[in-house]
Structure 1
Amino acid sequence: MRPYRAIFGLCTVGMLVVASTDVMMLRIVQPMLNEFGTVGTEATLYLPIAIVGVFVLRGIGSYISEYGLAWIGSRIVFDLRCEASDHLLRMPTSFYDATSAGFLLSKVTFDAQQVAAAASEAVTVSIRNTLTIAFMLAYLLYINWQLTLIAFAAFPFVALTIRQINKRLRRVTGLVQERTAALTHVLEEAIAAHRVVKVFGGEKYESDRLRAASNRLRLAMAKQSAAAALGTPINQIIVSFAVGVILWVAVRQSTDRSYGAGDFVTYVLALLNLLNQLKTLSNVTATVQRGLVAAASVFALIDEPPEVDTGTVDLGRVRGEIRFEHVTKRYDPEAPAALSDVDLVIAPGESVALVGPSGGGKTTLVNLIPHFYAPTEGRLLLDGRDLATIHLKELRRQIALVSQDIVLFNDTIAANIAYGMMAGAPREAIERAAEAANALEFIRMQPEGFDAIVGERGIRLSGGQG
């Protein structure tokens, strides 16, 4: 919001004008009602002009505030998306290995849009209605301060209700965002692998996954709507007690001719307007909570540490000698080493083929060269220079990469082998297929065996295993 302070200030002035017009209308009508039947026609000549003037003023203020805040909201979501997207491009490979693409897409699209809604619609309603409430309270105190003090008694109960509902909304809103991201992930996965889905007859399987994810999101959104809808009736019931007492006292005072009919009517109108503003203000809390949770989600992504570049050396044209010196790589301190004490020299111009069983570390070895990962132990040298001392951009400028194209679903190994029309195949048939693909050994090495989750597109497996 800081870069747009001037526009926000102009919007605030517009909302201040809109809020003041309600009191202006009451002040115009009040003396007319007090002298109704006795006022001369010449005294009413200004009335149409005054009413039109108030509404013109209200229209100008409304346009400035609503358009200005909508513009600020669109700029905020643009800035957030650009910053989040740029940050994603700087994230290390290990971050993408551990994070679903669907969740990242949801943060940059859905969550950022929720922030925009809170920054425009919710802020407009919150500030404008708060200002209107302040003007109405001042007007009510001016007309009859004793009656208005009764209304103040209801405010703590209304505030407590809003606070409790906001807690519930924040929890449920987080659940909605998680399930929106999960649905995006399932849909992205099915679309990306559409050829595989068609060839293996997996349409029904994917349809069931999408329906299940959509239904989980529907249930979360129903909980969100229920929590948001609860605030208005509870607050209305609380305020109705105060209104009932106020009207009872006001009628008794009017019978004593403490003040005129115009005072009474305008007081009731101002009170009803105040209640309507409170109702609208309580309704917008759902949008505010969605925006706050979404902002926390997007900023959590932006706060993720980017890929570290410790290099200080800029390379010119390199000869291309690659040397591995006692290189060991572990992806997890508790897991077995993907590479263990590797010594290897690749001469400039030399072609090398890495041959071995699935899970043998071939992909890991290749991924160390462009420094997608750093070795746990040992070091890699390019033309005698340690890769850790070379700028990442300079290092990767020297490398061409043709990666493996893996299509695996975020499901168990067994479900990926027996996919589509083969779903439900007996375990013996699945094991025979794995053995024929030379994958049985590494599958049995997994803690969950065939029930191990492979991750999105097989990120938890090596390239050869996938």
Structure 2
Amino acid sequence: MFVWSVVLTILLAIVAPLRPFLIQYALDHYVFENDSQGLVFMTIVLFILLILQTIIQYFHTYLTNVLGQSTIRDLRIHVFNHITKLKLRFFDRTPIGQLITRTVSDLETIADIFSEGLIVIVGDILQVFAIIGVMLYVDWKLTLIVLAPMPLLMLATYVFKEAIKSAFQDVRSQVSNLNTFLQEHITGMSIIKYFARENQEMHKFKKINAKHRDANIRSNWYYSIFFPVVEVISSLSIGLLVWYGSKSIIENDLSPGVIVSFIMYINLLYRPIRELADKFNTLQMGMVGAERVFTLLDSKEEEVNTGDYSPEIFTGSISFEHVWFAYTEEKWVLKDVSFKVKPGETLAIVGATGAGKSSIINILNRFYSIGKGSIKIDDRDIRDYSLPYLRSKIATVIQDVFLFTDTIENNITLGNPNILKADVVAAAKEAGAHEFIERLPGGYDYNVMERGSTLSAGQAQLISFIRALIYNPKILVLDEATSSVDTETELLIQSTLQRLVKGRTSIVIAHRLSTIQNADKIIVLDLGEIQEIGSHQELLQLNGFYKRLFDLQFNSAGIKKSTVS
């Protein structure tokens, strides 16, 4: 498509100066010599030429637009694929709205490079040279006089180019800010309403929107100056043509046909030059967008799948050996953490908020790299494992459930064609969720809408629970998995868990100590360090951190410790 676009661009450049040349010939040889037959012939030739130019222009416009859309289709897939492979650390500091801008609107400006930018610019330049070449051939003296104002146009174009580039960069920056603000505030609309912040947030939006408006007005202001300047310079060329041409006609040095053709040449010449500046700015905006997209693609934060170990037998034993971890350098979240979990055992992790509980889950899944020490599964460093293989053996249920705008079945299977409907129903029955799913309109085909907004927190949590179990993992991780559900649903999950954790290595993070008393081993974390480790009864007898947490929870709930224990 690119090659054919270039070929058609060259053809358009060749065809453009032919009409004025033929009209000049018709005037000088047929009109002024009263040759009506020759005039009819030339009219037919001009009509055929016009039809030919229209056909070429149609295919040129169609091909360049298809080329642009095909390019951004492939590039958008490449960008999205790259984003899915980035480390979670990248998303911790990059606004989602900014990534949406890169993937959508910035890529649209790249499409314009092909449909309205690069190829069109090349075509306009070729057309300018073709027109000037024909003008020189017809009358080189008249051509030089007509082109005398051209340096002024080149200067105006250069100044305009530099000014509009800065304006377009500001426009793209403001678009990104606008998208980021909208994404965050629409997603967090419930918080805005809970705290009655509608008016305050509207004032913030007005300021951001005003900056976006001002950036666009500034770019339009440059256009409003540049185009009249081009028209004045074009009129100046026509004025010089009339002055010199009239004198030459009187002195019989020029024919009237040459003057008429040169007026057409000037219009043809200044139109692509005027559009060159416009198209060059399209190219500038595309280049600004491309720079932002390629900066994202060039980011060196992709997850590195260094290992290729994919054993047939995977038992699920876990070993942390003197592990140190920090999200930012030297600000350690985990400090010298060591523990072991045998295959089929259940490990519970408790501690205050910020103690480092969820960080253990993140580094076990290799979402983040540890600073010191080693993590082993089945006595093999997790960095040796193939990343897709490792994560296929670990299923995680988190507190903040995310469901896609799709059916319940697809939210459970995540579109995996190898998981049958019967498997989904069986897993739902095992988790005690089949009855509530069947009561929904459409059952398993019920669309849960964005983030599962049409379901209760407990129902959404049950679906995420089924989603984890359907893959039959060897390691099951529950990160506050029952904190968002009611007591009845929690009891349902707990009874299901007792059956499902058998044969699986399980790690349970919980604030409610009542949910982890049957764990084989409990770790108490505080400020990233292991303070205590043992079973429920062993930790109570230590009369330390765990005992204080236990007393605090059950005393505040009005429950006698002896009854619970």
**Which SS does the other structure have where 1:284 is aligned?**
helix
Match runs of 1:186-205 below 5 Å:
186-205=181-200
**Which SS does the other structure have where 2:310 is aligned?**
coil
Partners of 2:258 and 2:400 in 1: how far apart? 78
Match of 1:399 in 2: 394
**Which SS does the other structure have where 2:332 is aligned?**
coil
Q: Does 1:376 align with 2:376?
A: no
Q: TM-score, normalised by structure 2?
A: 0.66
**Which SS does the other structure have where 1:258 is aligned?**
coil
> Residues 193 and 25 of structure 1: is their aligned pair in 2 closer, same or farther, counting only changes over 3 Å?
same
2:160 aligned residue (157, 160, 165): 165
Partners of 2:237 and 2:51 in 1: how far apart? 34
* Number of residue pairs aligned between Structure 1 and Structure 2: 401
Q: Does 1:83 align with 2:78?
A: yes
Partners of 2:342 and 2:174 in 1: how far apart? 51
Q: Which amino acid aligns with 2:245?
A: A
Match runs of 1:30-429 below 5 Å:
30-35=24-29, 36-238=31-233, 240-305=235-300, 306-333=302-329, 335-405=330-400
**Which SS does the other structure have where 2:348 is aligned?**
coil
Match of 1:438 in 2: none
* Aligned-residue CA RMSD (Å): 2.4
Partners of 2:279 and 2:160 in 1: how far apart? 12
> Residues 161 and 38 of structure 1: is their aligned pair in 2 closer, same or farther, counting only changes over 3 Å?
closer
Contact 1:112 1:294 in 2 (8 A): yes
Q: CA deviation at 1:208?
A: 3.1
Q: TM-score, normalised by structure 1?
A: 0.80
Partners of 1:109 and 1:241 in 2: how far apart? 44
Partners of 2:373 and 2:224 in 1: how far apart? 61
Contact 1:111 1:295 in 2 (8 A): yes
* Larger mean Cα displacement after TM superposition, 379-388 or 129-138: 129-138
Larger radius of gyration between Structure 1 and Structure 2 = 2
Q: Which amino acid aligns with 2:309?
A: V
**Which SS does the other structure have where 2:100 is aligned?**
helix
> Residues 279 and 292 of structure 1: is their aligned pair in 2 closer, same or farther, counting only changes over 3 Å?
same
Q: CA deviation at 1:61?
A: 0.6
Partners of 1:75 and 1:203 in 2: how far apart? 41
Partners of 1:184 and 1:203 in 2: how far apart? 18
Partners of 1:280 and 1:375 in 2: how far apart? 56
Partners of 2:229 and 2:23 in 1: how far apart? 32
- Which ranges in structure 2 are unaligned for 5 or more consecutive residues? 403-526, 528-565
Partners of 1:154 and 1:200 in 2: how far apart? 64
> In proportion to residue count, which structure has more strand?
2
> Residues 277 and 84 of structure 1: is their aligned pair in 2 closer, same or farther, counting only changes over 3 Å?
same
Q: Which amino acid aligns with 1:226?
A: W
Contact 1:231 1:283 in 2 (8 A): no
Partners of 2:261 and 2:338 in 1: how far apart? 90
* Larger mean Cα displacement after TM superposition, 279-288 or 381-390: 279-288
Q: CA deviation at 1:405?
A: 2.1
Q: CA deviation at 1:59?
A: 1.1
Match of 1:23 in 2: 17
Partners of 2:342 and 2:155 in 1: how far apart? 73
Q: Does 1:11 align with 2:9?
A: no
Q: Deviations over 1:158-204 (max 9, x none)?
A: 33433333233222222222221221112112222233333443333
Q: CA deviation at 1:205?
A: 3.6
Partners of 1:336 and 1:292 in 2: how far apart? 39
Match of 2:466 in 1: none
Q: CA deviation at 1:88?
A: 0.7
Q: CA deviation at 1:327?
A: 0.9
**Which SS does the other structure have where 1:338 is aligned?**
strand
Q: Which amino acid aligns with 1:396?
A: R
Identity score, percent: 26
Partners of 1:307 and 1:374 in 2: how far apart? 10
Q: CA deviation at 1:307?
A: 1.2
Q: CA deviation at 1:246?
A: 4.3
Q: CA deviation at 1:91?
A: 0.8
**Which SS does the other structure have where 2:252 is aligned?**
coil
